[in-house]
Every structure is written in C-alpha cells, then in structure tokens.
Chain A
Amino acid sequence: MTAPPERRQGFGMAAPGRPAPQQDGRAEEAGGRSADPAGQRFAQGQGQGSRSAEPEQDSSAERQIDLLPEDATVNLAAERKAAGIDELLDALDRELVGLAPIKLRIQEIAALLLVDQVRERFGLAATRPSLHMCFTGAPGTGKTTVAMRMAELLHRVGYLERGHLVAVTRDDLVGQYVGHTAPKTKEVLKRAMGGVLFIDEAYYLYRADNERDYGQESIEILLQVMENQRDKIVVVLAGYKDRMDEFFASNPGMSSRIAHHLDFPEYSLDELADIAQLMLSEVRYRLSEDAEATLREYLSRRMQQPRFANARSVRNALERARLRHANRLLSEPDRAWNRDDLMRLESADLLASRVFSEPTSESPAS
C-alpha cells in the first residue's frame, strides 16, 4: 500500500476509507459489507465544498480493493449463510402460520438484496431498491410481527444500519396546533433512522373531511424523507385494506413511493387451529383430544361473528380458557393434580365460552 498523500490518514482515527490488508476471502467479504453503507451514506451526504471533496478518494480506493476479478465465482448459498438469512427465514416459516404470499415476497426481497451485495463486489452497478412497504389486511393477521421480522432481515443483509422497529400511530406524528406537526414528525423520523418506521392505521393520517387537518403536513414530511433518505429508513404503512385504498386514492404520491403493497390474507380455520397450537406450546399448555375438536368448533363459530380479529381472537380465547382451567383446578381442592393436568386444557374450558351459548349473538365472546 502506498502512503496516503494527505496527512489526515496518519491519525489513528476510525477511518473507514483506509483499506485493510486482506488475508483471505472472509476478511474481504467483511470489508465489503462494512464499506458498502459507508459509501452510500457519503453519496447522500450534503456536505459542502471542501468537505465532500476529500472522502471521494477514500471511497474510490476502497472500491478498487473490493472488486473481484471478472472470472471469479461466488457461492450464493455460503453468502446466505454468512448473512444469517437462512435461520431468519426458517424462523419466519416456523413461527408464522400461513401467509404464503407474504413469506414469498420476503424471500424475494432477501434474495434481491443478497444478489445486489454480490453484484457490487464485481463492480456491477446496483441501485438501492426502494423498500417502503404497505401492509394491508384484517386485524390480527400478523402485520406488526412481519414488520418486526422485516426490520431484522434488512439489518442482516446490510440494508439497514440498526434494524430496530419504531411503531407509531397518528398521535405520535401529528401535532395539536400550528407548527407542532413538523418537529413532531421529524423527531419520530430521526428516532427511526437506521431502522423501520411502522405506522399503524396510517389512513388516520389523512382526514378527508377536514381540510385544515395537520395530518397532511405530516404526510408531506414523510414523503420527503421517504424519497431523500431512502437508504436510512424504511417506512411501513399498515391498515385495513379498504381504508388504505381510500388513503392512497387521496394521496397518490404516497402510493407511488411504496414499492411493495402486501395484502395479508385472512387465516383459514386450519391455520387458526395451528396458530392456537403454536401459542399454547409457547406457554407449555396442550389441548386434550376432544378439546381440539371443541376448539375447531369454537373457531368456526367465532369466525362468523363480528369483530373477529384472527390470531388476536385466538389468543384471547386461549387466555380465557387458561383462566377457566385454573379455576377448574382450584374448585376441587381435595384432588391431587399431576404435571399433565396442569398442562392440559379440557373441552369444558372452551365450552364455557359465550360463543357456544349464544351462537347468533352480535356481541363478541367474553
């Protein structure tokens, strides 16, 4: 390595531009990963005059070091392993029931980012894909959970620096008086930088009936940041399908800046039963055989009722079953219960639900 022409390199400061000596392919790969976001950030930096002139040579030096020869080959499977994507996708598959189209899309995104990363090492230009997303679907279909997984995935493949999730609603973004909204929205955006900003029930941001609503101001700031700071933040909007459609109809700029519109399907009866099993095994309970049948019966009835919130309803039903289970055990003080009794939910625990007593009832089960 030749001595850098400028004195600034001589200092022991963390200078990412200084090319590290490479011993093997592993070191080279690590160097490539850490250098990539730095270069991106520089490209976006708005430093003036003298400031932006200097790092140019740093990053160009870095790029030359990183390039692989044209006839080199890469093993994508090994790359996947190194980035830890496989275990993340496996966990996603294991812990989230159903949602096949969503999982497919996540897999595609992960593949694209990985391939882009490898392409860059060959010196093939790769523009950063826009990854703002919109999750629509009924309540309880896993929108927040998927957003959280997404944040971690994007962090693993090096798209995001931190990979944390900041979940907000209209209250956190929109102010109460003139001049309050912009700082409030910016504050939240800054907090989410390097990670994912998840806006739940995003359609509340825009109120068509009130022209002077401050939500519009918030939307404008969001749009601006979504466009200019694309490499630092991923915005995920979530909400019911029909109301999000309305929201996009009145904010076409928002719709076009969102690359991925994911619609979360409602769970089928089988999937709901699987979810129930998964939730129970997490807290070390299990269903007896007739309780399983009762649960299916319960779910099919509950699905017909209003305010059915998919996985969330399942969770609530199980919570109540656990209450009744505990009460049942306590109501027979003379009997001795073994370990299995403490884990097993019986059919009776579920049958006590109001869903069975008033099948045509309009009120949700309690």
Chain B
Amino acid sequence: MRITQGTFSYLPDFTDEEIAQQAQYAIDNGWPLSVEFTDDPHPRNNYWDMWGLPMFDLTDAAGVLYEVNECRKAYPNHYIKLNAYDARYGRQTTALSFLVNRPEVEPGFRLERQEGPGRVVRFTTYPYALDKPKGDRYGS
C-alpha cells in the first residue's frame, strides 16, 4: 500500500529534477530544508531521524539534492522526507514537507479491532512492517 503523507503525496513520486525544483522554491522563500528518514510508516510517527542538521545558508537546490542522494545511499529502503521550515513566526513551522524516497515494497497496514464493554469497538491501524525490529523492516 502506497503511503500518502506530506505535501504532494497523491502525486506520482517526484523525479530528482522535480525535487530540486521544489527545494529551490523553498530556498527562494527563505525556508531552510532538512532531510529526515524513518522505517516506521505509521502516520502518527512524529519522530523521524534527522539526516544531518537543517541546511541553512544555501542558495541552490543542488546542495539539498546532494544530501537527499547521500541519505538514499545510506538508507535505500527507508522513507525519506524533505522538510522546509518557515522561521518567520519565531517558532518552528513546517511550511512544506514531502516524501522523496520510499521502500520498494510497502506491505501496508492491518486493522485491529478491540472489543470493549457494551458493543464498543476500538480500531487501530498497525503497519505490517513494525513486526520486525527497527532497521530490518524493509529488507536492507
């Protein structure tokens, strides 16, 4: 199942060129970009690992694409996203965030039902990938 999270997630995956153009748009707006990765696909997983620090002072998207590719090399089978922060408000505000890499095979989620007192049923989604320990979830 294709994970759809972040901006542009209903579009087909971006090419490198399109990623660079989006990054350039963010840079032109003065938003520093950062690369994050994870192998826990749950939509409520807020804690992605940082790939280096946010990239301040860049003028060209080539530097961003370089880091994205470095991260892809290290974690080819992880989810990788690009975040752009808008610092104008004086606090961390994500202006743009989109996936730039996803595992080859995405097994998707199973729906678990928990029966409570009365006829209450609680639902929870559980990624199949989480059955394996961190780092082993998508092959390499």
Contact between A195 and B59 (Cβ–Cβ < 8 Å)?
A: yes
Query: Is there a chain B Cβ closer than 8 Å to A54's Cβ?
Result: yes
Pick out which of these stretches binds chain A: B7-15, B39-47, B112-120, B125-133: B7-15
User: 6 A–B contact pairs at CB < 8 A?
Assistant: A8-B11, A15-B18, A41-B65, A46-B16, A190-B67, A194-B59
Contact between B62 and A232 (Cβ–Cβ < 8 Å)?
A: yes
Contact between B16 and A11 (Cβ–Cβ < 8 Å)?
A: no
Query: Is there a chain A Cβ closer than 8 Å to B58's Cβ?
Result: yes
Complex contacts, A233 vs chain B, CB 8 Å: 62
Q: B residues 51-69 with Cβ under 8 Å of A? A: 52, 55, 57-67, 69
Query: Is there a chain A Cβ closer than 8 Å to B21's Cβ?
Result: yes
- Given A162-B60, A190-B55: A38 and B17 interface contact (C-beta under 8 Å): yes
Complex contacts, A7 vs chain B, CB 8 Å: 12
Q: How far is the CB of B140 from chain A (nearest CB, A)?
A: 12
Query: Is there a chain B Cβ closer than 8 Å to A31's Cβ?
Result: no
Complex contacts, B73 vs chain A, CB 8 Å: 46
Complex contacts, A195 vs chain B, CB 8 Å: 59-60
Contact between B11 and A11 (Cβ–Cβ < 8 Å)?
A: yes
Contact between A229 and B62 (Cβ–Cβ < 8 Å)?
A: yes
Query: Is there a chain A Cβ closer than 8 Å to B30's Cβ?
Result: no
A58 to B69 Cα, complex, angstroms: 21
- Given A16-B21, A229-B66: A194 and B15 interface contact (C-beta under 8 Å): no
Nearest to B73 among chain A residues (CB) is: A46
Interface residue from B12, B21, B62 paired with A193 (Cβ < 8 Å): B62
Contact between A42 and B67 (Cβ–Cβ < 8 Å)?
A: no
Nearest to B72 among chain A residues (CB) is: A48
Q: Which 4 A-B pairs have the closest CB atoms?
A: A194-B60, A190-B63, A45-B16, A193-B62
Contact between A48 and B76 (Cβ–Cβ < 8 Å)?
A: yes
Contact between B60 and A42 (Cβ–Cβ < 8 Å)?
A: no
Complex contacts, B104 vs chain A, CB 8 Å: 49
Using CB atoms and an 8 Å cutoff, list the residues of chain B in contact with chain A: 11-13, 15-18, 20-21, 52, 55, 57-67, 69, 72-73, 76, 104
Contact between B66 and A193 (Cβ–Cβ < 8 Å)?
A: yes
Nearest to B66 among chain A residues (CB) is: A190
Complex contacts, A50 vs chain B, CB 8 Å: 13
Query: Is there a chain B Cβ closer than 8 Å to A30's Cβ?
Result: no
Contact between B57 and A41 (Cβ–Cβ < 8 Å)?
A: no
Query: Is there a chain B Cβ closer than 8 Å to A77's Cβ?
Result: no
> In the complex, given contacts A14-B18, A190-B66, what are 10 additional A-B residue pairs having Cβ atoms less than 8 angstroms apart?
A14-B21, A47-B15, A47-B69, A51-B15, A161-B62, A190-B62, A190-B64, A191-B59, A193-B60, A194-B62
Q: How far is the CB of A86 from chain B (nearest CB, A)?
A: 26
Contact between B17 and A13 (Cβ–Cβ < 8 Å)?
A: no
Contact between B58 and A191 (Cβ–Cβ < 8 Å)?
A: yes
Contact between B62 and A51 (Cβ–Cβ < 8 Å)?
A: no
Contact between A190 and B17 (Cβ–Cβ < 8 Å)?
A: no
Complex contacts, B66 vs chain A, CB 8 Å: 190, 193, 229
A175 to B30 Cα, complex, angstroms: 27
Contact between A13 and B11 (Cβ–Cβ < 8 Å)?
A: yes
Complex contacts, A14 vs chain B, CB 8 Å: 18, 21
Q: A residues 121-147 with Cβ under 8 Å of B? A: none
Contact between A46 and B72 (Cβ–Cβ < 8 Å)?
A: yes
Complex contacts, B20 vs chain A, CB 8 Å: 41
* 1/0 contact string of A37-81 vs chain B (CB within 8 Å): 010011001111111101100100000000000000000000000
Query: Is there a chain B Cβ closer than 8 Å to A156's Cβ?
Result: no
